[in-house]
Structure 1
């Protein structure tokens, strides 16, 4: 029983510490210093397959991060912001095995193997794509993607959404190599 409790505690800590995984892609020929203003690409935002509450959370988080980067919302923007969402089930399999020795008073000495078996963890993860589109050329110039386990309470959703958006937009603008 003690091993089971320890295993549950370790597993809970691993799941609760899961971080946001991010990546980016961008047009190599884009001059990102030319972009100072933004607006939302309404058609793209309307197509996002999530609740209106989640859309508002995402857009507020994007506004906060864009303002922190010095961007200004505009009716005549340099770039358009669009989002796309997805979800997937992540399955992790943990193989458990171990060994140990025991001893005590008297004639005994013991040892052995223990804790055999597999544990399977299933977590639903949300995927958020943030697309930045050159408003004049109507071309995608940058895309950031963030993946993280979904949360259930409204407070947790706000916190997780802010973290995902921040992690994604921390990659923008892309840093030149060299």
Structure 2
């Protein structure tokens, strides 16, 4: 009976701990964000991003959606300027699997001779992407907020759109509402 009461808590903890995008944010706490109402993208910065134009459009659309949801308006004469940076790196994962029952299953009080049995290794690579979102005051280009999202990327086109949306949503989660 106690196990049944514990299962919903376990499920919530499992899903909460599986966030696939790690986020770090920083901001200037002396800035009053309520004074800002409009934004635009920094064209020079967006043009320099070394990713496909399709992915660039996906990122910009996701940022537009998030900022609109927070009450900001895109403008030709903005209060804030958004600049982006991206980076990617290959990550190599090496896993070793051993045969046998393992330590503690057959003989919990000592060494298990089956633990060191035949095993195998698997090597895989994956791409880890990093998205930086910088928010600057439009009048003097002073950085007032920065978000960084790190996570694994996918090549599947449908999942790629979802993944980019997830990156942007997580990064802008702590950006103040208007």
Q: TM-score, length-normalised on structure 2?
A: 0.75
1:154 maps to which of 157, 160, 167: 157
Equivalent residue number for residue 125 of structure 1: 128
Equivalent residue number for residue 15 of structure 2: none
Q: CA deviation at 1:148?
A: 1.2
The answer on whether the counterparts of 2:23 and 2:149 sit within 8 Å (CA) in structure 1 is yes
Q: How many positions carry a matched residue from both structures?
A: 151
Q: CA deviation at 1:31?
A: 1.7
Deviations 1:110-163 (A, max 9, x none): 973246565444221111111111001211111101111111122111000000
Give the Cα separation in 1 of the matches to 2:169 and 2:96: 34
Structure having the larger proportion of residues in strand? 1
1:164 maps to which of 143, 167, 174: 167
Give the Cα separation in 1 of the matches to 2:58 and 2:26: 24
The Cα RMSD (Å) is 2.5
- Segments of 4+ moved more than 3 angstroms: 91-97, 99-102, 114-121
After TM superposition, the structure 1 stretch with the greater mean CA deviation from structure 2, 88-97 or 149-158, is: 88-97
Structure 1 unaligned blocks of 5 or more: 1-16, 103-109
